[in-house]
Amino acid sequence: MICFANGDVEFYSKQFLHSGEERYCSAGSIDYVFNCKQYRIALAVCADFCAPEHSQNAAKANADVYLVSALISQAGYTPDSKLLAQIATTNQFPVLLSNHISVTGGWTCAGKNAIWGEAGRMFACTNTKMPSLLVCSISDEGVSAIKKDVKL
């Protein structure tokens, strides 16, 4: 669900399911790119980013940013980070990762929200030892981020 400041609500259904998810979910079939001011943001949910055609379609849709929402484990974080860096380099757009932290459905996620620039270099990542936010800004100069630790 995507909620806009003007009250509009839109939906995106992930297109690529992990094995076993088909028992609970139906795969979507439509790519989703939305405009935020003058920037085009393509959404990817979890396994979407593992399918090369998904990010390629985002590039064909002239996306300025590829935004991934995922549940990546600590063990999967390094290989998935390499893949996300490759997506940034191949498609020449920044890749933003919003990764769940903590346990959900018996799955322990790594957290570590991050941003990779067009050259594939990670230039911002949250810390797993302390709750933190990664606040991103998109401008004509590119994507920037400020990491803020959160006191609970």
**Cβ contact 31:40 at 8 Å:** no
- pLDDT tens for the chain, 152 residues long, are 999 999 999 999 999 998 888 898 899 999 999 998 899 999 999 999 999 999 999 999 999 999 999 999 889 999 999 999 999 999 999 999 998 888 787 878 888 899 999 999 998 888 766 777 888 888 888 888 888 877 76
Domain CATH for 139: 3.60.110.10
Residue 115 lies in a domain: yes
Residue 23 lies in a domain: yes
Residue 7 lies in a domain: no
Residue 18 lies in a domain: yes
Residue 5 lies in a domain: no
Q: What is the pLDDT, as a whole number, of residue 128?
A: 67
Residue 2 lies in a domain: no
Q: What is the pLDDT, as a whole number, of residue 152?
A: 67
Q: What is the pLDDT, as a whole number, of residue 20?
A: 87
Cα(108)–Cα(51) distance, integer angstroms: 23
Q: What is the pLDDT, as a whole number, of residue 27?
A: 93
Residue 45 lies in a domain: yes
Q: How many residues in total does the chain contain?
A: 152
Residue 49 lies in a domain: yes
Q: Which domain holds residue 88?
A: 13-149
Domains: count for the chain: 1
